[in-house]
Amino acid sequence: MYVFVRQSLPSRPMSLYAQRGVSAQKEDVHKATEKLDKGLYPNAFCKIYPDYLGGDPAWVNLMHADGAGTKSILAYLYWKDTGDIAVWKGIAKDAVAMNLDDLLCVGIYDNLLFSSTIDRNKRNIPGDILETIINGSQEFFDELKAFGVNIQYLGGETADVGDVVRTIAVNGTMTARWPKDRLVTNDKIQAGDVIVGFSSSGQATYETMYNSGIGSNGLTSARHDVLHKTYGARFHESYDTSLDDQVVYIGPHRMTDIVEIPASQFQAGHPAGSAPSGTSGPVTMDIGQLLLSPTRTYAPLLKKLLTEQFDQIHGLIHCSGGGQTKCMKYLPGNFKVIKDNLFEAPLIFQLIRQASGSDNREMYQVFNMGHRLEIFTNEAAAGDMIRAGQQFGIEAKIVGRVEAAREKSLLLKVGEEEIVY
């Protein structure tokens, strides 16, 4: 058991997340883009356009951009503390997975094109880090090919922009051309559907170590809430120095602090909740490894489900920015979504909450809190989907359901607490 005392903070009128200049719901972004074309299917997880590339009315085009976000700053701190340059391969995976898993949620799993965009401050980020990130991207694509997920790496833009970024920003764009009749548009979501959630943590059969489930969202909060004040003193380049000092690196931990991962956290796919790969009992990792667990891609699993159970998939949601409230944006009508059988929050989120003092309302709006993929389907099909997840070592279960309503709403049940959005 890891025990620590949280630094006391003054009472505050807004969340720590907001005080740090970030937003889980991206209200300003949505307002800035509200006049843009919503594409062919406004409820789909990604914007979908006619086939401008091929001119075939039976096909569509997609181009999607995303990245590792401020997780690259965590990699920078870990690299500075440990000298472990391999940590940057995880950032490469983050930038790819955040694009790929969004496209998976509209049904696309093959014949994708990827272009990277890397902006760095050359004074702080040497060339061998760039090389590690770029090579790490290609290695990830090579791994995915074994599961029939083919992504072509088309290079991209790498710029030295020290006046813009203090460390490094790792992003990418993914493009696809796809048949219209194999899309998941979320328009089939209906009252009576159940929601199958797939765990974001544990160790999938295609992962080499325990995944904390952190993904690539909420890392500004995770970094400042968990890490010790000394990181701000040592690395001014790692944060916005105009922030109030009361919200900068307020946590109890160093990157190299050791934490025990209970065997039960490895979840499905490993008998009796034991750790995989022949190990037994608890596993130890450091705080940096937990915060930097590469974003789990669900590509191998979704390739199987989209080819074998496509007609039973009514909707797909990637619980990224917005956490467990993400589904609200993509409902095709007025429904009440009830999630009353959520996963126990993985250890990393327990540590973040204890360090920050955040309430469940904010935590479940910022982080995925245990599952980053959810499928809306009929109850009869749910069992096969759950078993498919287990084949890949990913715990899955029915986490909720959809009911008819006069307006859109979301109810989360966390222990005895009910949270309404």
Q: Give a yes or no: residue 95 inside a domain.
A: yes
Of residues 197 and 8, more confidence is placed in 197
Q: Give a yes or no: residue 280 inside a domain.
A: yes
What would the pLDDT profile of 275-326 be if each residue is shown by its tens digit?
A: 555 555 678 999 999 999 999 999 999 999 999 999 999 999 999 999 999 9
- For 119-169, the DSSP string reads EE-TTTS-HHHHHHHHHHHHHHHHHHHTTT--EEEEEEEEEE-TTT-SSEE
Kindly give the interhelix angle for 71-82 and 219-226, rounded to the nearest 10 degrees: 40
What would the pLDDT profile of 144-170 be if each residue is shown by its tens digit?
A: 999 999 999 999 999 999 999 999 999
| Structure token pair of residue 179 | 């048949």
Q: Give a yes or no: residue 10 inside a domain.
A: no
- Residues 16, 109: Cα–Cα separation, whole Å: 37
Domain span at residue 128? Answer: 16-420
Q: Give a yes or no: residue 341 inside a domain.
A: yes
- Residue whose entry in the numeric block shows the structure tokens 């490094």: 168
Question: Which stretch of DSSP H or E encloses residue 306?
Answer: helix 299-308
- Residue whose entry in the numeric block shows the structure tokens 């791994």: 143
* Among 273-287, 379-393, 400-414, the least confident range: 273-287
User: Which pLDDT score, from 0 to 100, does residue 9 have?
Assistant: 38
Query: Could you give phi then psi for residue 174, rounded to 5 degrees?
Result: -120, 135
Q: Give a yes or no: residue 7 inside a domain.
A: no
* CB count in 10 Å sphere of residue 78: 22
User: Which pLDDT score, from 0 to 100, does residue 27 have?
Assistant: 65
pLDDT at 101 over 50: yes
User: Which pLDDT score, from 0 to 100, does residue 24 have?
Assistant: 55
Q: Give a yes or no: residue 1 inside a domain.
A: no
Q: Pairing between strand 194-199 and 168-179?
A: unpaired
- CATH assignment at residue 104: 3.90.650.10
Q: Give a yes or no: residue 222 inside a domain.
A: yes
Sign of torsion, CA 12 329 303 139?
negative
Rg of the chain in Å (alpha carbons)? 21
Long-range contacts of 227-233 (CB under 8 A, 24+ apart): 227/77, 227/251, 227/253, 227/254, 227/255, 227/287, 228/252, 228/253, 228/254, 229/7, 230/254, 231/77
Burial of 399 (0-12, 13-18, 19+ CB in 10 A): buried
Q: Give a yes or no: residue 3 inside a domain.
A: no
If one counts the domains in the chain, the total is 1
- Contact yes or no for 414/202 (Cβ under 8 A): no
